[in-house]
Amino acid sequence: MKKVVVLGSLNMDYVINVEKMPQKGETILGLAMSKTPGGKGANQAYAIGKLGGKVSMIGAVGEDENGKILKKNLNSVGVNTEGIMELAGVCTGNAVITVDKAAENSIIVLQGANARLTKTDIDANKQIIVDSDVLVMQLEIPVEVVEYAARIASESGTIVILDPAPAAADLPDTLWQCIDVIKPNETELAALSGMPVTCIEDAAIAAKSLLKKGVTQVIVTMGDEGSLLVTEDKTQHFPGEKVVAIDTTAAGDSFTAAFVVAVTNGKSCEEAISYGNRVSAITVTRKGAQASIPDKEEVAF
């Protein structure tokens, strides 16, 4: 089985359910609150493990109870957490997530230990990256660390997949040149390209602008519209599964994880995208981040 390493964030999520998102200056009453393991990096590692992939994670937590909970939850689905450092004097990352009645969410992230990751930490875990077939990253840790790890992976022949969230318009050229697959949603694609993205046609045009930066494949996730694959040779739309969504938290993370698991099991890019659509469709019908992700028995290839 091919090996995957996820470099990224670990957060404890505090999810607040609301009737509607508050407007500027508005105070509203919440309906309920829950505490659940999250962080884009941890979500993706957890989902890869739960879907049957062989995965390690590199990241950082604080020496606190939340950090212990997050590592234990990853271990429960077989994620190798030897690369997750416990840092003194800093808290584990936290995220406050509001989810409205339409299942849309907004997220505020307090980086905590995630912001303390350094190139030295990557050097300490370099062999995990070199020995892996795929490196998956996001942007909830310092960009210079992401870029450094991408260069190590690219030079060793490890495939680099970037989920560019939260999106940054000024990613360094040296990072772009190392990315094999980038998976933005519509909002992130607009930020990365500087172009409006309001429909599939807009997404295709914006995605092609990213190819010019050195990326081989752009996969755009578009909610219930499905996904869009854009390469130098083709543009292909994959319709989304029709479901009743109750919480979109981790939908993109579960898609990325499912795509990686399918590809590392010998599936084509197209088959992997379809699998990602199916997995993320199940995820949005459940509450929470990692708690909402299906396992390999529930959604087979």
Cis peptide before 166 (omega within 30 of 0): yes
Helix (H, G, I), strand (E, B) or coil at 12: strand
The answer to whether the CB of 112 falls within 8 A of the CB of 91 is yes
| CA-based max dimension of the chain | 52
Helices (H), 77-219: 119-124, 126-130, 143-156, 173-176, 186-193, 200-211
Token pair for 286: 């459940």
- Tell me the torsion sign for CA atoms 211, 264, 52, 124: negative
Cα–Cα distance measured from residue 54 to residue 52, given in angstroms and rounded to the nearest whole number: 7
Amino acid at position 114, single letter = N
CB atoms within 10 A of CB 66: 20
The answer to whether the CB of 42 falls within 8 A of the CB of 10 is yes
The catalytic position among 100, 121, 163, 253 is 253
Residue the block writes with tokens 């800093």: 90
Cα–Cα distance measured from residue 251 to residue 259, given in angstroms and rounded to the nearest whole number: 12
Amino acid at position 264, single letter = T
253 classed as catalytic: yes
Helix (H, G, I), strand (E, B) or coil at 265: coil
Helix (H, G, I), strand (E, B) or coil at 96: strand
Cα–Cα distance measured from residue 195 to residue 190, given in angstroms and rounded to the nearest whole number: 5
Cα–Cα distance measured from residue 238 to residue 201, given in angstroms and rounded to the nearest whole number: 13
The answer to whether the CB of 292 falls within 8 A of the CB of 247 is yes
Catalytic residues: 253
